[in-house]
């Protein structure tokens, strides 16, 4: 059983949390969902040290307040779209500025730049100014930088909201690959339950409580609870649950082709 990398105990923030408890396992891809104003973004801001919480949060068995800024930023990266600001610089300048801060030999930095641009498919944007790019492209660049720094913990707040279905699928694939390859803990918030299916563990929070938790598919089977919270099930999950409840299917099936095959048998 993996150790918890983060423990939050008896967290109280007026009008948001009251005696709230949650923990996050190490080296897992974790998603947090819940209705509007349930505290998802607040949790990310707390874990990124943008909100002080006194003694409520332990990160790697150490009080979050006891970390020095440089020590913490080398361990934890955060992407909050609505708090992203960019200077009047090109994508190339932005990426090279971040690579300059990496602890690698000077002569290796041009090679690292080339690898990053190629891996995240940013070649055609290199000469574009950051402030001229679409939000979805800016997010891809910010995610690329954050992943490339290989933090132990990556915090993402609703980062896929402005992306197409194809972009979401690709980025979730990249996130999962990086998480596994680098023994990383990813904590991502979302209102879209379909975005939780690639994660290892899902929390549904509301009213200062964990309402549901577990493997995403198991959590999403509680359609009545989720519907009462105003959360919409992914189409295939919703259909599969209904067909199972009517004894048309014996088990949940999220792949359309396999579902059709089972229905025709």
Contact 26, 200 (CB under 8 A): no
Does any domain span residue 138?
no
Question: In this predicted model, what pLDDT tens digit does every residue of 155-179 receive, in sequence order?
Answer: 999 999 878 888 888 889 889 988 9
Q: CB–CB of 221/252 below 8 Å? A: yes
225 located within any domain:
no
10-37 average pLDDT score: 94
**What's residue 113's pLDDT?**
87
Higher pLDDT, 40 or 239: 40
At 236 the pLDDT is 66
pLDDT value for 1: 42
Q: How confident is the model at residue 134 (pLDDT cuts 50, 70, 90)?
A: confident
Tokens in use for 208? 């200062």
- The Cβ-side half-sphere exposure at 152, using a 13 Å CA radius, reads 14
Total structural domains in the chain? 1
pLDDT tens for residues 237-259?
Answer: 777 767 777 677 677 666 666 76
User: Has residue 118 been placed in a domain?
Assistant: no
- Which CATH number goes with the domain that contains 24? 3.40.50.300
Render pLDDT for 85-103 as a digit per residue (tens, 0 to 9). 777 899 999 988 888 877 7
Give the global pTM: 0.87
């Amino acid at each position: 059983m993996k150790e918890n990398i983060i423990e939050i105990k008896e967290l109280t923030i007026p009008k948001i949390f009251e005696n709230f408890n949650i923990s996050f396992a190490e080296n897992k891809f974790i998603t947090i969902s819940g209705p509007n104003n349930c505290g998802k973004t607040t949790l990310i801001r707390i874990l990124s040290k943008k909100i002080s919480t006194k003694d409520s949060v332990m990160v790697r068995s150490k009080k979050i307040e006891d970390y020095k800024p440089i020590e913490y930023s080398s361990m934890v990266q955060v992407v909050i779209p609505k708090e992203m600001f960019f200077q009047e610089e090109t994508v190339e300048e932005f990426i090279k500025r971040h690579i300059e801060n990496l602890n690698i030999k000077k002569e290796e930095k041009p090679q690292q730049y080339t690898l990053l641009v190629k891996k995240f498919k940013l070649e055609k944007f290199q000469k574009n100014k950051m402030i001229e790019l679409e939000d979805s492209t800016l997010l891809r660049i910010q995610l690329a930088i954050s992943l490339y720094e290989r933090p132990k913990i990556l915090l993402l707040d609703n980062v896929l909201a402005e992306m197409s279905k194809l972009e979401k699928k690709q980025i979730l694939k990249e996130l999962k690959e990086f998480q596994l390859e680098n023994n990383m803990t990813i904590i991502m918030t979302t209102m879209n339950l379909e975005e939780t299916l690639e994660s290892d563990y899902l929390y549904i929070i509301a009213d200062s409580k964990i309402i549901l938790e577990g493997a995403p598919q198991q959590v999403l089977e509680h359609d009545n609870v989720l519907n009462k919270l105003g959360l919409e099930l992914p189409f295939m999950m919703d259909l599969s649950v209904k067909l199972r409840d009517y004894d048309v299917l014996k088990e949940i099936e999220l792949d359309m082709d396999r579902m059709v095959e089972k229905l025709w048998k």
